[in-house]
Amino acid sequence: MSDQTLNRETVLDVMRSERFVMLSTATREGRIVSHPMTPQQVTDEAEVWFIIGRDSDQSEAIRSNPQVNLAFAEAGSWLSLAGTAEFVDDQAKIDELWTEQAGAYFEQGRQDPNVTLLKVTGDSAQFWGVPGGAVGSTLKLIGAKITGKKPDGTSGTVEL
């Protein structure tokens, strides 16, 4: 992320640039649990689509509490997306989003009765980061250590 202000487009760009995210859910007992996930699609409406097993631990937690968090991270930058999750049974959408990687998790492929879609609709996003990616953040932190000045960085929240 550059020095631009945080807005919806910037949030979408960050979300689309990450191959893996952490999906955090709350169990019935109130424990927060995070799972690594691969987003299949990020829409202009800040919806993040996943292929998921309907009998997974994450699915069970989401059925009891659909409020979730997605954490996107790269060196020097972090994006936290608060949202609401819902299951979608749509074979055409499964076919559209299906990948070989998804097939590794389901014995019967995309026709497996355990396959479903999870759609997370973002409500708000919070970003923390240092412009310039990994190299930029390292140089700024070293510079701050030498000069004793606080490193440049950005932080902000945007409602989606």
pLDDT in tens, 102-152: 999 999 999 999 999 999 999 999 988 765 554 444 444 455 556 666 655
How many other CB atoms are there within 10 angstroms of residue 118's CB atom?
A: 24
- By the 8 A CB rule, do 101 and 38 touch? yes
Using DSSP, state whether 158 is helix, strand or coil. Answer: strand
Which value, in Å, is the radius of gyration of the alpha carbons in the chain? 18
For 67-93, write each residue's pLDDT tens digit. Answer: 999 999 877 789 999 999 999 999 999
Entry pTM:
0.81
For the chain, give every domain's residue range.
8-159
Q: The domain 8-159 belongs to what CATH superfamily? A: Electron Transport, Fmn-binding Protein; Chain A (2.30.110.10)
